[in-house]
Every structure is written in structure tokens, then in C-alpha cells.
């Protein structure tokens, strides 16, 4: 990944360009505050917004993008099919509902949100259908560990282009990153700041001070330098702005290794092998 500025992109396996930095909107209610903050992020240079049907805020995301004044093609929007909607026909219905809420003619990226046992292969068939129909520019999965991918890939007519995973200094999963890279599956981070717990890791404080950055900025830059697309969530304008101030410094190889060494296989979200939604 070549890191340039907030509008920089990576090229997916199908040559679609995906902004490597974006805004997540998990747990932010639908409504005026979210709409205004998404618009603020877009005015600040963000070009990637990540939502999902579960978040129940697709309507506000769509309104913000349409009212931003930016051409639709300049904003990369992701959504996801939720677990209770998995299966072939129900995934197609769920997608139609998401598109109606968003108010879009197409989606940039559609993900299978979790690997629901006994359903995710049929769900993937539906997602492939949406892709071949041209309703989605790129498709992928979320929360798929190596064995989930091993189960899915033999059935794929279209390979996943993205795997969105919990990723931060306490949960690196380097072997999974390497596996995805070997299959040209772009790794993407959710919860890169550990839902705020990143600030409790004392080792990060001394490293961040070397670069005159805060811990969040250090960790987001580390994520990008790892080649991981990164979508920190925030509903505060000052944090939306400061999270993006990571393109004027570079972490040394030694400090990258020091941050890598903080891995404890520690999750703040559910385990993909034991989720109960």
C-alpha cells in the first residue's frame, strides 16, 4: 500500500479503487447528528463510509452522501448483510432494503457480515449474483477466519475482494493477514482503536510521543503501514478531524515491530467462532 493522503486508495482484485481510510458509523443512531457528521467527514476529505443493515442508519448515510455536493462516484460506501437475513433469497431482499434506505443505484462494497454456519455459502452465492448483475462494484466478507475462508473459497465463482476483521495492536492475526494477501483479499480493520481501550496501553504512549502524535493517530498510521484498510468510528467532529491527521509522519520499522509485539489475541468484539447474534 502506498500511503499518500486521506483520499489515497488501494486497488482491489477486480481493479476497483477503494479508499484505504474511512469513517465507521457503528452504534451511531440514524438521524440529523449522524447525517451532519458524515457530511463533515466528507468535507474534511474522507471518501469512504462504512455502514451495515444492523447499524440501522443507512438512511442518514445515504442522505449525507447525496447532500454533500460530491459526485456519487467519489464516495465509496460499504454495507453488509446481517445474520438473520442470510441465505440466498433473503440476502437479495436485504440488499434491496438497504439500497432503498441508502437511496443509491449501486453500492461500492457489500459484505457478508458474519460467517453464519450453514448459511454463508448460500449467502455468498447471492452476493455474487448482485456483483455479476452490476448492482455492487465489489464484494467481500467480514469476520471470516482462515477456516471459514477455506470452507467458502472452493464454492466461489467470484473471489472475495475484502475481509473486514477486528484489528488493532492487541489483535493482529498476522497469519490471517498473510493468507488474505496471498489470495489477493484486501484486509480491512474494524474497531482499530479498540472502542477507546487503545488509550489504556501504556507502551503506545511513549511511542506516540516520539512522533508528536496522540495514541489514536499512531495506531491508525500503524494500521495503514501494515497494508490494512482502516475505518475508525467516531461521532465527534474533533475526533473525525484528528483521526485523519496521520499523513505527515511515518513510523519506523523498529517502532512498527514494537507495536506488533503488543499482540495478545485480545478481542473487544465477538469471536467469529462463537458469536451469538
Active site residues: 55
Which residue, 247, 252, 264, is CA-closest to 5? Answer: 247
Rounded to the nearest 5 percent, the helix, strand and coil shares of the chain are 45, 15, 40
**The length of the chain, given as a count of residues:** 277
How far is 13 from 73, CA to CA, in rounded Å?
A: 19
Which residue, 56, 126, 58, 115, is CA-closest to 90? Answer: 126
State the alpha helices, DSSP H only, in the chain.
32-43, 58-67, 88-102, 120-132, 146-152, 174-182, 202-210, 215-225, 237-243, 253-260
Q: Give Cβ neighbours of residue 117 (< 8 Å, ≥ 6 apart).
A: none
What is the three-class DSSP state of 110? strand
How far is 194 from 178, CA to CA, in rounded Å?
A: 22
DSSP conformation letters of 134-151: TSBS-EEEES--HHHHHH
How far is 133 from 91, CA to CA, in rounded Å?
A: 14
Amino acid at each position: 500500500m502506498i500511503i499518500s493522503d486521506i483520499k489515497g486508495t488501494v486497488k482491489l482484485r477486480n481493479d476497483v479503487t477503494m479508499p484505504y481510510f474511512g469513517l465507521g458509523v457503528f452504534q451511531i443512531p440514524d438521524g440529523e447528528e449522524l447525517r451532519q457528521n458524515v457530511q463533515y467527514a466528507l468535507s474534511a476529505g474522507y471518501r469512504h463510509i462504512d455502514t451495515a443493515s444492523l447499524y440501522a442508519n443507512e438512511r442518514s448515510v445515504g442522505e449525507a452522501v447525496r447532500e454533500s455536493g460530491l459526485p456519487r462516484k467519489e464516495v465509496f460506501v460499504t454495507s453488509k448483510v446481517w445474520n438473520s437475513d442470510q441465505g440466498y433469497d433473503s440476502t437479495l431482499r436485504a440488499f434491496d432494503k438497504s439500497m432503498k434506505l441508502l437511496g443509491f443505484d449501486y453500492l461500492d462494497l457489500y459484505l457478508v457480515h458474519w460467517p453464519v454456519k450453514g448459511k454463508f455459502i448460500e449467502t455468498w452465492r447471492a452476493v455474487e449474483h448482485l456483483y455479476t448483475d452490476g448492482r455492487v462494484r465489489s464484494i467481500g466478507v467480514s469476520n471470516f477466519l482462515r477456516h471459514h475462508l477455506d470452507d467458502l473459497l472452493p464454492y466461489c465463482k467470484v473471489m472475495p475482494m475484502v475481509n473486514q476483521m477486528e484489528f488493532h495492536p492487541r489483535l493482529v492475526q498476522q497469519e490471517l493477514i498473510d493468507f488474505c494477501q496471498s489470495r489477493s483479499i484486501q484486509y480491512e480493520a474494524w474497531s482499530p482503536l479498540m472502542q477507546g481501550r487503545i488509550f489504556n496501553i501504556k507502551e503506545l504512549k511513549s511511542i506516540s510521543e516520539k512522533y508528536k502524535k496522540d495514541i489514536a493517530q499512531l495506531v491508525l498510521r500503524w494500521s495503514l503501514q501494515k497494508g490494512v484498510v482502516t475505518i475508525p468510528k467516531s461521532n465527534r467532529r474533533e475526533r473525525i478531524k484528528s483521526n485523519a491527521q496521520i499523513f505527515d509522519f511515518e513510523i519506523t520499522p523498529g517502532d512498527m515491530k514494537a507495536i506488533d509485539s503488543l499482540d495478545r489475541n485480545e478481542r473487544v468484539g465477538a469471536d467469529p467462532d462463537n458469536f451469538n447474534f
